[in-house]
Amino acid sequence: MSPVIKKKGEKFTIPSKYLLFVLTCLCTVLMALTFSTDLFNRPLNTAVGYVIVPFQQGIGKVGSWLSRRKDELVQIRQLLEENVSLQQQVDELLVENTLLQQEKAELSRLRELYQLDNQYDEYHKVGARIIARDSGNWYSTFVIDKGAEDGLEVDMNVIASGGLVGRVSEVGPNWARVTSVIADNSNVSAKTLSSSDTLTVSGDLQAMHDGVIRFSQLIDSQDSVVAGDKVVTSHISDKYLPNILIGTIHTINRDPNNLTKSGFLTPAVDFEHLEEVLVITDMKREWEDA
């Protein structure tokens, strides 16, 4: 029996040292063929070309897509942060713009009061802000932030941008209530500036919805008074100083008695948007005595 192959019952075995020798020779031959020829490289390369390369290309495309998405997310995050910052700047600019508009409007009103102050420079005046008013669209009665501590008294005349506003009707320590010429209970002795014809101006809140108030008892024997003529306070008024502009004639009609005329006039003051006023501290009686 061969010393290499031994029979043991029905089985054949090869000694381990011979098996190791055979495998070593086989590996040596295969290594030599691999390094010296492309016998195995060509099938392997073909397999790689059909399987590995497409897989690598797919992985590369997925990686590129993920990289682009990452860059886009970073850009979106940056844009969101910039948007928040820009929105804060916009809000700050809106606040600044609102304040500037308010200051501009206030400056314009104060300039008008300054011009009015110069226009009636023969009177002493105190500036005041309106802090409250009665319900309604018009400043028929309102409260100002100056009072007895500032030298104010009842019946002192109040003027604003266009002319006569009304008179002080109640005084507190640091506040005063003003009744305007458009109030229903107001009556002012007046005259036309062009002809000095006398008339009575009466408040009418209902008529103020059309932007006018009533006048009556106009004695115009020469028919010289026409629409557009200016109306000022009369020297015969017991509470109002003379020659303060009240408004202009809007419409004029002859009364049934054919002796007097009546109609409507447009107030010189915007009684819908009052904020600051001037209070004339000279009283009518004091002015007459002087």
Summarize pLDDT for 197-248 with one digit per residue, the tens.
999 999 999 999 999 999 999 988 888 999 999 999 998 888 999 999 999 9
- Residue by residue, what is the 3-state secondary structure of 11-41? EEECCHHHHHHHHHHHHHHHHHHHHHCCCCH
At a CB cut-off of 8 Å and minimum separation 6, what does 207 contact? 213, 214, 264
In angstroms, the CA 247 to CA 232 distance is: 7
Closest residue by Cα to residue 262 from 252, 272, 270: 252
- CA-CA distance, 182 to 207, in Å (whole number)? 9
DSSP assignment letter at 78: H
Q: Which residues have C-beta within 8 Å of that of residue 252, sequence separation ≥ 6? A: 218, 225, 226, 227, 261, 262, 263
pLDDT digits (tens, 9 = 90+) for 172-196: 999 999 999 999 989 999 999 989 9
pLDDT surpassing 80 at residue 48? no
- How do beta strands 276-280 and 230-233 pair? unpaired
**How large is the average pLDDT for residues 30-58?**
62
* Sequence-separated (6 or more) residues with CB below 8 Å from residue 56: none
Domains of the chain (ranges plus CATH)? 14-47 (no CATH), 52-116 (no CATH), 124-290 (2.40.10.340)
Torsion (CA) 275, 281, 284, 285 in degrees, nearest 10: 150
Q: Report CA 190 to chain centroid distance, whole Å.
A: 42
| Nearest Cα residue to 223 out of 261, 174, 249 | 261
Higher pLDDT, 50 or 111: 111
Q: How would residue 1 be classed by pLDDT, with cut points 50, 70 and 90?
A: very low
Residue 151, number of CB atoms within 10 A of its CB: 13
Residue with tokens 């200051």: 103
**Structure tokens that stand for 46 in this block:** 């073909």
Report the C-alpha gap between 217 and 197 in whole angstroms. 10
Q: Which residue in 183, 272, 267 sits closest to 231, CA to CA?
A: 267
pTM reported for the whole predicted model:
0.65
Reported as a pLDDT band with limits 50, 70 and 90, residue 264 is very high
Which H, E and C letters describe 192-213, residue by residue? Answer: ECCCCCEEEEECCCCHHHHCCE
Question: What's the residue count for the chain?
Answer: 290
Tens digits of residue pLDDT in 63-76:
788 788 888 888 88
Rounded distance between C-alpha atoms, residue 152 and residue 44, angstroms: 111
116 vs 12 pLDDT, higher one: 116
pLDDT at 62 over 70: yes
Among 269, 280, 285, residue whose Cα is nearest residue 176: 280
CA distance 115 to 125: 13
